[in-house]
Structure 1
């Protein structure tokens, strides 16, 4: 379990799958985030003292067990940039599309992408329902919607090979246990940053015939 900022930096720095510039760019990201939090409520104020644990590692842990050849990633409801922008920083070889419906946040996200020169990160200002259908190698959503609604909205972006990474906090096991009407290979993995939190991981194969969630 990663419990403090020093451990978080060490974990990121020691990860051989991340871009060598990851630490430096995350430091710049932190500065921008803190400045913007003075203007709008991006993250809980109490988490600003634990940015590297609560936001950076919490985001980058989603890359665990994702195939190295994954080339596209869709992040739903990116908000303050988590996990989408953090993922784009660590893996410049992945084209990350971040969807966010709130204009103030997409303006901020666009500035982050510009200042950090993240050519692999695209910010889409839209409701998810209005985003053009496309297939992605991985899909993530942090505190976006309850699992049944999330799948209803986003299954059109998924193939049988798409890797799903859905941080769900303490509700992960319960949400998965209560999921009905879907053919999937989901399981819950323990979060590296919270002993009580889980991440729903796996692949989605579609609706079961004749059933709805």
Structure 2
């Protein structure tokens, strides 16, 4: 379990994707985040003191569950850029699609991607319901919507081979146990950054019920 900022950085350095250039991009992302957080509340001020553990490694750990080169990666409700910008910083050759509907967050994501020279990042500034359908190799979402609602909104982006990576914190096991109406192969894996948090991961075969339309909660 990663408990300190020093441990977080040590873990990153042994990650195959985290070469000198990748670490430099992450360090620049942390600088940009701290600066922007003075203008808009991207993350809690308290979490900036543990930004490497709470946000960078918490995002980067998802890479250990996906074969290198897997693309495109679709990140839903990206917000401050986690995990999407971290994934793109460490795998700049991969197409990463960031979906975010809030105007100031959209502007932040575009500025950060440009500053980090992440040329394969696309920011979709729209509600998820309005994003054109396309298939993704990986779908991630961090604190975006309850699991059942998330699947209703985003299953159209998935194939039976798509890898879902959903950091759900302490609710992961409960949300998965309560999931009904879907044919899936999901399970919960332990987060590296919180002993009580889990990541729902696996593949989705499809819905066993009609999918209703509406807004994300």
Scaled by the length of structure 1, the TM-score of the pair is: 0.96
Q: How far does the alpha carbon of each residue in 1:89-146 deviate from its partner, in whole angstroms, 9 at most, with x for none?
A: 0111211000000000110111001111001111110000000000000000000000
**Is residue 181–residue 212 contact of structure 1 (8 Å, CA) maintained in 2?**
no
Distance 1:189 1:66 in 2: 14
**Is residue 143–residue 167 contact of structure 2 (8 Å, CA) maintained in 1?**
yes
SS at match of 2:65: coil
Distance 2:130 2:19 in 1: 33
How many pairs are equivalent?
212
Matched, 1:191 2:194: no
Distance 1:90 1:5 in 2: 18
Residue in structure 2 matched with residue 164 of structure 1 by the alignment:
164
Deviates most, 20-29 or 189-198: 20-29
Distance 1:117 1:61 in 2: 22
Residue in structure 1 matched with residue 202 of structure 2 by the alignment:
202
Residue in structure 1 matched with residue 137 of structure 2 by the alignment:
137
Distance 2:203 2:133 in 1: 18
Residue in structure 1 matched with residue 94 of structure 2 by the alignment:
94
Q: Which runs of 4+ in 1 moved over 3 A?
A: 17-20, 210-213
Instruction: Tell me the CA shift for residue 184 of structure 1.
Output: 0.3
Residue in structure 2 matched with residue 112 of structure 1 by the alignment:
112
Residue in structure 1 matched with residue 29 of structure 2 by the alignment:
29
Instruction: Tell me the CA shift for residue 212 of structure 1.
Output: 6.4
Deviates most, 161-170 or 12-21: 12-21
Distance 1:15 1:138 in 2: 19
Distance 2:71 2:123 in 1: 17
Distance 2:144 2:85 in 1: 16
Instruction: Tell me the CA shift for residue 193 of structure 1.
Output: 0.2
**Is residue 30–residue 51 contact of structure 2 (8 Å, CA) maintained in 1?**
yes
Distance 2:48 2:96 in 1: 24
Structure 1 residues 154, 19: closer, same or farther in 2, change over 3 A?
A: farther
**Is residue 66–residue 163 contact of structure 1 (8 Å, CA) maintained in 2?**
yes
Instruction: Tell me the CA shift for residue 18 of structure 1.
Output: 3.5
Residue in structure 1 matched with residue 57 of structure 2 by the alignment:
57
Scaled by the length of structure 2, the TM-score of the pair is: 0.95
Residue in structure 1 matched with residue 45 of structure 2 by the alignment:
45
Q: How far does the alpha carbon of each residue in 1:137-187 deviate from its partner, in whole angstroms, 9 at most, with x for none?
A: 000000000001000000000000000000000000000000000000000
